[in-house]
Amino acid sequence: MFHHIIENSVSIIEIILAKTNLYRKYYEHIYSQFYNTSNCIEESLSNRYLYGWADVCHIDRNFLYNQLLKQGQGYSNFNLYSGDKFLGGIRILMSQIIYACPNPTLYLPIEQIVDISTNPIEYYKLHNIPVWIHHGAKHVY
């Protein structure tokens, strides 16, 4: 769910900035390079998002917390993004995506376009159009 929200937000930014392939460049230059390390904040933020909505999704919070801690560094660092740090993490992530840089020198306050406040169950009801991002076109038949 979190990845879907981020990818939709990036699509909005691409339209606003009239730039294409922002997520693809980020994926190739940052996500793929730092996958499963402590520098892969997208997965940490995704797990933090899931943990934050655990009760709504009927997931035992204590069980989930322990399971998330057992994952690799890029995933288990979710607890570094509690409270206000979550929005700060999204700001960093969105800046990484826009600039295709792991440590951008400028963090734009664009995390507001990322809809993390809507209940995930309601989000699916409101936005039921999936977005698939691939390196090349995939046949759908």
Q: Is residue 78 part of a domain?
A: yes
pLDDT band at 83 (very low <50, low <70, confident <90, very high): confident
More confident: 128 or 42:
42
Q: Mean pLDDT across the chain, nearest whole number?
A: 80
- pLDDT mean over 68-84: 89
Q: Is residue 119 part of a domain?
A: yes
130 vs 120: CA distance, rounded Å = 14
Domains in the chain, number: 1
Q: Is residue 139 part of a domain?
A: no
Residue 129 has pLDDT above 70, yes or no: no
pLDDT computed for residue 107 by the predictor:
66
56 vs 50: CA distance, rounded Å = 10
Lowest mean pLDDT among 21-25, 40-44, 121-125, 130-134: 130-134
Do 68 and 46 contact (CB within 8 A), yes or no?
Answer: no
Q: Is residue 134 part of a domain?
A: no
Residue 60 has pLDDT above 60, yes or no: yes
pTM > 0.85: yes or no: no
- pLDDT mean over 84-93: 88
Q: Is residue 131 part of a domain?
A: no
Burial of 138 (0-12, 13-18, 19+ CB in 10 A): exposed
pLDDT computed for residue 69 by the predictor:
92
Q: Is residue 31 part of a domain?
A: yes
pLDDT computed for residue 141 by the predictor:
43
Q: Residue 46 sits in which domain range?
A: 2-126
Q: Which amino acid is at 44?
A: S
Please, what's the b/e burial string for 13-33 (b: 16 or more CB within 10 A of its CB; e: otherwise)?
bbeeeeeeebbebbbeebbee
More confident: 118 or 27:
27
